[in-house]
Structure formats: C-alpha cells, structure tokens
Structure 1
Amino acid sequence: MASCCLVVCCSLLVVGFYGADAFLHYNLDTCVFTSSELPDIEYIHSYYFNKIEDIRFNSTVGKWVGYTDHGIYNAELWNNDPADLADWRAQKETYCKYNIEIRYRKILDKTAEPTVRLNSVTPPSGRHPAMLMCSVYNFYPKYISVTWLRDGQPVTSDVTSTDELANGDWYYQIHSHLEYTPRSGEKITCMVEHASFPSPKKVDWNPSMSQSDRNKIAIGASGLLLGLILSLAGLIYYKRKARGRVLVPTS
C-alpha cells in the first residue's frame, strides 16, 4: 500500500515592495510517514524565498542542507550549533509522531469495506467481442488494488482502469475494464485488495444471463404479450360488428 504524507504548514510571510516587485518568504513543516512508528517517519523543515527552496533540515540526513548561496551559507552556520541541531532532530518525535498518532486515531485507522460489482458491457472497439467491467464502490481509505485473473493467472493486457474517484463524502470508487475473447469453460475473476479486507476479495464472472439482460427480455416479453392481447381484442370487436351488418345487394 502506498505511503501516507501528512503536511502541516506554518508559514511566515515577509513581503517588501520595490516598485512592481515583491519578495515572499515562508517556511514549511512536512511529516512523511508509512506508520506511526518513529523509524517510519521523516521530518522535513524547509525555508522558501520567492517560491525557491533556500535551505532544508531533513531528519534522515540529520542536518541542514542549502540549495542556494544564501542557504549554503546558513547551513554551514547552523550545523555548527549542536544544541540547535538536537532540537530540530527531536521534532520528528515531538511534532510528527504526536500529530500522526492523532490522525491515525481519528481518520487513518478507519476503513469502509467496498462493494464489488461485475458486469458485461459493450466493448468500445472491435479488437475483442466481449468486455467486463469491475466496479468498486464506497471504500475508504483511497488506496486499493483491482486486478483480473483468467483461470487463476493474472491478466495485464487489454485492461484499462480509472483512478480512484472521490465521491465527495470521504468514500471512493474505481472501475476496471477487461476486453477479451471468451473461451469455453474458462473462469474470469476480478480481485480486489483493500485495507478493509483481511484477504483479497475475488468475484467470479458468471456468464449466464445478467439481471439487466433478464429485465430487458421481461420488458420485451410483456410488450409482446400486450400487443397480442390488443390484437385479439380488436379482432373480436371486428367480428362482433360484422355480425350486426345487413348486406344490401347492389344492382
């Protein structure tokens, strides 16, 4: 599963105007993490001037690194202060770990199990006569894996997938398509891996008639039956009217 990145910004803006020019300075605190354990956390503190990173402290490197002439000058100066470096190194625990644990308790440890649906759709091209769509709805967190198996073997060609699409309510959805040429007796499977599942969820394609197709046939049959009833009613009405007529011979 992909790593998480918590970014908390503490910005100081210093603006000076000289004619039409402006100077902008700000600093940014960043915590990059894959878990709430200290070895899986990286703390970064950066100073920017006019959108260019000037100097950075990285907890993995353990010291300041300059990227401009001014930043290199300050990095050499600040790295010679052991007490100041110790304070910045401690931010990984006092700043990052503290905030990350809050977010794990409130948000990141929560999961919502997705709903998986497998349907037959019309292929957009003539390369293959059939296409399946595996739709995964209402899952959280965002990171998910949707793959196809054919007789138990992974399928990588003729597969297209959307990105994880936000529903706007913390939930996500994703859709994956497989174009294929059906083979007799084969088994096609959509496999979904997500944090809410203890193990991958596998949904096998049932080549028998789908509910949608059954509905279409039922509607068509109902229309045909209604047409027959109306035709029969018209025929009966016509015969009854014909019995009451008196034929007058013409000369």
Structure 2
Amino acid sequence: MASSFLGFSLLFLSLNAADGFKNYAASYCEFNSSEMKDIEYILSFYYNKDEYLRYSSSVGEFVGYTELGVKNAERLNRDTAQLAALRAQKERVCKNNIEKWDSGILAKKVPPSDVTLSSVTPPGGKHTHMLMCSVYGFYPKHISVKWLRDGKVTTSDVTSTEELADGDWYYQIHSHLEFTPRSGEKVSCMVEHISLSEPVIRDWDPSLPESERNKIAIGASGLILGLILSLAGFIYYKRKMKGRILVPTN
C-alpha cells in the first residue's frame, strides 16, 4: 500500500527579524495503516525552512542534522521523562486520529452515480464510429473501464482520460473506443470499482435514442400536416375556380 501522510498539529515558534528569519516546529504522523507498526510520529524543528533537529518514534530519540541540532539532541535525549511523553504521542495523537480518518474518509466507498454510453464524432482516420463511456460520481479514484466486443476485452483503438476530480471528493472518467462496426457485433463498456459487488456493463444500442426518435416523429408529423393543409387548399381553390367563367379582355 502506498504511504499515506497526515499532519495533525503544526506549532509555530516564530522569531521574525527585519530580513524574515523564522524558527518553528512541526509535528505530524506518517502511516500505511491504523496498525501501530505502520505509524510513525515525527516532531521536527526548522530554521528558515532547513530542518536541524528531529524526534522520530521509529528511532525513539532526537537526531540533529546541524551542529546546533546535534548539541540540542544530546541535551534533549538526557531528559527521559520528555522522551517517554513523546513516545506516547504515537498512540495518543496518531493512532486515535488515524482510526477516525480511516473509517470516515480513507475507507469510504461510493459506487458510480451514472454510467453512460454515447456515440461521438471521431477526430478522423479510417474508422467510422467512436463510442464514449462516461463514468461519474465514484470514490475512491481508482477504477477500471474496459471495452468488450462480443464479450471479449479489446484494447486496440482505446483511449481513456485520467480520473478527473469533481472537487467534492468524487471523480469522473471517460473512455473512447474507435472502431469499424461489423454486422451483428455486440459492443459493451464494463466498469469495475471497489465499491461494486459486480461489474457494471452497458451495451451499445446502435438504434436512435428515444430523444432522436421523438424529434424525427415530430418532424414527420409536421411534414404530413403541411401536405394535408396544402392539398386541402389546392382542392378548395380548384372547386372555387370551377364555377367561374373567364371573360377575355381587349
């Protein structure tokens, strides 16, 4: 598992001069899991962004990185009471907070809110069709989007975006398949995610979507109505002209 980082407290001990020198300390926790063996408590001291002294729970004492830091480490390591208090920070501060983060955030799983399959215009080339599979509203970000042709995974002519952050903890991703249709071929998009008990599969239906069918139906109805009105007008005109006698004029 990749190393995670969590900072719980940041204590600034600042001495600001005209040219901006600063001395400060920062304490934080690094962890791979909520197990004590995977947690490290660190207290670091900095001068102008350079670390000169550190306490680490994995070492159990202070270590100096400069001449001043080495002298302070020797002095502080003789204080057994302070070392014991710092060792307790690993459980008192790190473990308690990590468990809350792990259950409330890191272990959170949200399945995709929507998986859509649509036809898009290809940028060019020998292919005649391009499909886009869009997955929205999932967490965590790692997800697998695959294309199936007649039930078999295909990787040729497939391009995908990275997982895109929505800014609200959730993610979206878009995958494209550029292909030449074959008669009777079944094309599908398969989505796998840690939040799903089984993959979500969307099959491509080459027929027009309902919205397009409605547009065509409305257009056809309008055309038929126009033809009927035109025919009615023509019949009325012919009947009206039938009873008239045309008189030539000089």
Q: TM-score, normalised by structure 1?
A: 0.77
* From 213, 218, 240, the counterpart of 1:244: 240
Inter-partner Cα distance in structure 2 for 1:217 and 1:209: 9
Provide, for residues 49-87 of structure 1, a one-character-per-residue CA deviation record: whole Å limited to 9, x for no partner.
223333333333444344444334434544455544343
Provide, for residues 225-251 of structure 1, a one-character-per-residue CA deviation record: whole Å limited to 9, x for no partner.
212212221220232133223242324
- Supply the AA of the counterpart residue of 1:177: S
- The aligned counterpart of 2:190 is 190
Cα distance change of structure 1 residues 134 and 82 upon mapping to structure 2, 3 Å threshold: farther
- The aligned counterpart of 1:234 is 230
Provide, for residues 177-214 of structure 1, a one-character-per-residue CA deviation record: whole Å limited to 9, x for no partner.
223324644654332213x33x4523243343363xx3
- The aligned counterpart of 1:209 is 207
CA offset at residue 110 of structure 1? 4.2
8 A contact 2:118–2:132 mirrored in 1: yes
> Alignment partner of 1:236: what SS?
helix
Cα distance change of structure 1 residues 242 and 181 upon mapping to structure 2, 3 Å threshold: same
Cα distance change of structure 1 residues 11 and 189 upon mapping to structure 2, 3 Å threshold: same
> Alignment partner of 1:143: what SS?
coil
- The aligned counterpart of 1:137 is 136
Structure 1: stretches of 5+ with no match in the other structure: none
Please report the RMSD computed on the Cα atoms of aligned residues, expressed in angstroms. Answer: 3.1
Aligned residues with identical type, % of pairs: 31
8 A contact 2:129–2:181 mirrored in 1: no
- The aligned counterpart of 2:43 is 45
Provide, for residues 142-189 of structure 1, a one-character-per-residue CA deviation record: whole Å limited to 9, x for no partner.
333233244544738742223342343xx4131122233246446543
- Supply the AA of the counterpart residue of 1:242: K
* From 163, 172, 175, the counterpart of 1:174: 172
Are 1:159 and 2:159 counterparts? yes
> Alignment partner of 2:163: what SS?
coil
Are 1:220 and 2:219 counterparts? no
> Alignment partner of 1:30: what SS?
strand
Cα distance change of structure 1 residues 98 and 119 upon mapping to structure 2, 3 Å threshold: same
8 A contact 1:116–1:134 mirrored in 2: no
> Alignment partner of 2:17: what SS?
strand
Q: Choose 1 or 2 for highest CA Rg.
A: 2
- The aligned counterpart of 1:102 is 100
> Alignment partner of 1:47: what SS?
strand
- Supply the AA of the counterpart residue of 2:132: M
- The aligned counterpart of 1:118 is 116
Cα distance change of structure 1 residues 78 and 148 upon mapping to structure 2, 3 Å threshold: farther
Cα distance change of structure 1 residues 10 and 229 upon mapping to structure 2, 3 Å threshold: same
Cα distance change of structure 1 residues 80 and 182 upon mapping to structure 2, 3 Å threshold: farther
> Alignment partner of 1:23: what SS?
coil
CA offset at residue 219 of structure 1? 0.4
8 A contact 1:47–1:55 mirrored in 2: yes
State the aligned residue count: 242
Q: TM-score, normalised by structure 2?
A: 0.78
Inter-partner Cα distance in structure 2 for 1:156 and 1:227: 44
CA offset at residue 6 of structure 1? 2.4
- Supply the AA of the counterpart residue of 1:172: Y
8 A contact 2:133–2:189 mirrored in 1: no
CA offset at residue 94 of structure 1? 1.4
> Alignment partner of 1:217: what SS?
helix
